[in-house]
Amino acid sequence: MQSTSSKQASAGTATGALAGLRVLDIATFVAAPFCGTILADFGAEVIKIEQPKTGDALRQFGTITECGDSLVWLSEARNKKTITLDLRKSEGVDLFKKLVAESDVVLENFRPGTLEKWGIGFESLIEINPRLVMLRISAYGQTGPKRGEPGFARIAHAFAGLSWLAGEADGPPVVPGSTSMADYVSGMWGAIGVLTVLRDRERTGRGQFIDLGLYESVFRLLDEIAPAYAKYGTVRERMGADTVNVVPHSHYQTASGEWVALACTNDKMFERLAVVMGQAGLVALYPTSAIRVEHRVKVNALVSGWMADHSLAEVIEKTREGGVPCAQIYSVREIFEDPQYKARGNLLHIHDERVGALVLPGPLPRLSETPPTFRHAGRALGADNLQVFGDILGLSAEQVAAHAESGVI
């Protein structure tokens, strides 16, 4: 039985905003499949196609549960139908092409040239279905001198310039948060691409493919580093928790030991902070962002000193009353205890038929009339073979069984 938060996520129309959209997800791991997860959350029929017997490697990535699949799989393969099909076999290719003829979108993230080698590149598939939309995510994109090289999110972070910025000024580059961030961001960019092409298809009646490199998804988010280098030769260096052009805008430790994030993005915010700290005279000493940046060490020391004299509760209360953006730096433990997360349904409590109680990240974004829904967690390998091949392609149970015996399914 689903909890209240799960029921809330399943509220609204029974079909969803993307009902009627059929998506074939032949990708692996996270990047392109996460695009499928987003589409599935909003009602698209997303059919996850995996290698027979072994399945997607994501099933074994992360914490393995009692059903044999990982928590990552149960979360990120949610709402998807799962079938098996060997795309390296000619019979598998034939079945896949028949599915393409009945579908709207294909998601893939193989190394460029792989699908062409199997005879199912975009140019071949659009002949079968001129309205086909195809998302192609790879490490470096479909063109350029590095197009054929492999890569994962960690490599994308490095190549995009993000890892260079992560860490303390006098230390080595570190992991910028989640090692899978580039995958998830690429899935989001991919969803934007798919929805954009679908909108264009309404006008032209013809599909197209989306070409996205993992590193590009990250590089596009790095604010002014490109124009700053091009115009002034500025190479931004690691700054730890600080920000290049705003002070105080960092992490500070309270008297009770917890850490908080403080954001003073403009002069007005600094004025409010100075009042909160009981040091209104700081505004006259450091009136502008440029001056505060010039005196970064001194300003940070003043804020650090004030934080160190007050408990977490005092810091949060005083900054809230003063209108200064400040929040405790949470671990997942605090996230599970926080009433804001509960009120927003960010933690989706569900019951899975294979592993029992689970808590998953809630779907996003919210829509006022057609909200995202939760139907099931990531399913067992080939769980929907009979239904998909039977309902869509008209194969009988005996034909499905024969294909399974031969290793095609």
Residue numbers annotated as active site: 183
What is the rounded distance in angstroms from the CA atom of residue 369 to the CA atom of residue 375? 18
What is the rounded distance in angstroms from the CA atom of residue 8 to the CA atom of residue 229? 47
- Dig out the tokens for 301 from the structure: 């020391």
Nearest in space to 176 (alpha carbons), one of 189, 151, 159, 191: 159
**Cβ-contact 101, 132 below 8 angstroms:** no
In sequence order, the 6+-apart residues with CB closer than 8 A to the CB of 303 are 248, 250, 252, 262, 273, 277
Q: Within 323-374, where are the H helices? A: 332-337, 339-344
Quote the DSSP letter at residue 70.
B
Q: Name the one residue in this structure whose structure tokens are 């031969």.
A: 406
The strand order across the sheet containing 105-108 reads 80-84, 45-50, 22-25, 105-108, 133-138, 209-213
Run of H or E including 129: none
Q: How many CB atoms lie within 10 A of CB 97?
A: 16
In sequence order, the 6+-apart residues with CB closer than 8 A to the CB of 199 are none
3-state helix, strand, coil in the chain (%, to 5): 40, 15, 45
